[in-house]
Amino acid sequence: MTHTLLTKLGLDKHPRIITDVRGDETPEKDNIILSMNPATGKPIAGVKLDGKDDYERITANAVEAFKSFRKVPAPKRGELVRRIGNAYREVLEELGSLETLEMGKIKAEGIGEVQETIDIADFAVGQSRQLYGKTMPSERPEHAMKEQWLPMGPVGIITAFNFPNAVWGWNAMLAAVCGDTCVWKPSLMAPLTCIATNEIAQRVASEMGYENIFQYVIGTDDIVGEPMIRDRRYPLISATGSCRMGRHVGSVVAGRLGKSLLELGGNNAVIIAEDANLDLALKSTVFGSVGTAGQRCTTSRRLIIHESIADDFCAKLVKAYETVTIGDPLADGVLMGPLINEQSVVAFEHAVKTAQEQGGTLITGGEREVKTGELAGGHFVKPTIIRAPKSNDLPMAHEETFAPILYVFTYKTLEEAIDMQNSVDQGLSSAIFTGSSNSAQRFLDPSGAGSDCGLAYVNLGTSGAEIGGAFGGEKDTGGGRESGSDAWKAYMRRQTCTIGFSDTLTLAQGIKFE
């Protein structure tokens, strides 16, 4: 399976990839990082790491390529992105399956993620003809004012393991139509997906005569990560990862007066009112909490449910969890794959134990899912539900654990529920299930008194954002916006232009200087 996938994607003879590797090899040996299959605990392939000289060469190439690429008309850059999207369509299943093999999300989700990159490519094609500025009236006679948006420069894109294709796509497709070059630093837990994805994009670009538009640098934080965020040649760093990582990146980039686009952690809540469609709420909550084995930044981590329906709903939730098939994410019928590595399993176990010590009641899951045969070395856990004590005081629920743990709280009034939802440091995604238009509107209060998150859903779960809307969150989530709406503005610089066509000098604010 592995060799077939690599062959179909043209990676079987790639100079950076070593297919003949053993599980006892280490990243330090021959400067190689191992891409591991989290479902088996065995290596898929080895990838040669970049060093300081490689980083310098790649960055210099990006700077030089930008000088000519920014002069290409935006609709022509859109044509490049259109062809890239079509190239991904040709390998949709193969690229999605490679991601499943390397990251562990089920095949449907892996393919869906690649589809998301295709969708944002389609969006970016249209955007390439809509990079609009404004015209503004001047206060001076025979003067005109306008603003225009200009290419910014090389963009450094740092991605996490859980979305090793689409998050790059959100950034790179928009950055490309904006006239920027891209250098991608992927997670060392998903280097193969990066190589396959980037190679396709740059092949298409090369065929159109554009070299070094899409590049990647695969290396450790100290060798390539730190130099990238400190490098003034990158006017924008787009970083996806933990809140801790984002604070560091944001601080360093701000220190050189660069710009950051940060997509960090989430601790997302679902509010279920007593008048909700409970069947819809149940299905959405299960997907939101179990999808990608709880390793989405938009995963539903807290359930805030009206006290009058909590017991019955939790009983149904437990039964639904029991039907979730856990196993090989490439197999048909499997709904939940493994966690990314053993450290994640340990963090899962620690969170469960700590929550119980704080008064939480474990009502299902809470332990490893033991497998045999080929999957014996996999990092599987059981989806878990923990009910908070009556006091609703459960400190562990304020921490984001990248695992399928759902904490259940109860409420009496909607104001109380919204306050509970907003009580965590992160502010990414939020949801309410209700049949009341008044409750829905209070949740979406235009004064800002409702959900404090960047994403707010009514009668939908917290996961599954569409590419047409800007994606991102507030507070410790970083404030960044990627993907749709006017997120393209993050990849350009604004210039205000004033044109005088008079023979008389006229100063603003009525100033006379004669």
Catalytic residues: 263, 297
Measured in whole angstroms, the distance separating CA 273 from the mean position of its chain's CA atoms is: 29
Residue 259 burial class via C-beta count within 10 angstroms: exposed 0-12, middle 13-18, buried 19 and up: middle
**Beta partners for residue 364, in sequence order:** 385
Token pair, residue 257, equals 């007066």
Contact status, residue 215 vs residue 50, Cβ threshold 8 Å: no
H helix and E strand count, the chain: 14, 22
Q: Which amino acid is at 366?
A: G
Q: Using the structure block, give the residue that is written with the tokens 């992927």.
A: 186
What Cα–Cα distance (Å) separates residue 424 from each residue in 187, 286, 291, 348, 412? 27, 22, 22, 19, 19
Residues shown for the chain: 514
Q: Order the strands of the 42-48 sheet from edge to edge.
A: 17-18, 42-48, 32-37
Q: Order the strands of the 182-185 sheet from edge to edge.
A: 214-216, 182-185, 155-158, 236-240, 259-263
Token pair, residue 446, equals 């235009």
Please give the helix or strand (H or E) that residue 272 lies within, else none: strand 268-272
Q: Which of 440, 476, 445 is nearest to 458 (CA)?
A: 440
Query: Who contacts 479 (Cβ-Cβ below 8 Å, separation ≥6)?
Result: 262, 472, 473
Measure the CA dihedral 163/168/174/175, to 10°.
150
Q: What single DSSP character describes residue 235?
A: S
Q: What single DSSP character describes residue 368?
A: B
Query: Who contacts 81 (Cβ-Cβ below 8 Å, separation ≥6)?
Result: 121, 124, 125, 128, 173, 176, 177
Q: Which of 218, 273, 209, 237 is nearest to 431 (CA)?
A: 273
d(CA 111, CA 325): 19
Residue 35, classed as helix, strand or coil, is: strand
**Beta partners for residue 403, in sequence order:** none
Measured in whole angstroms, the distance separating CA 513 from the mean position of its chain's CA atoms is: 54
What's the farthest any 2 CA atoms get from each other in the chain? Answer: 90
Residue 188, classed as helix, strand or coil, is: coil
Alpha helix (H) residue ranges in 358-492: 414-421, 437-443
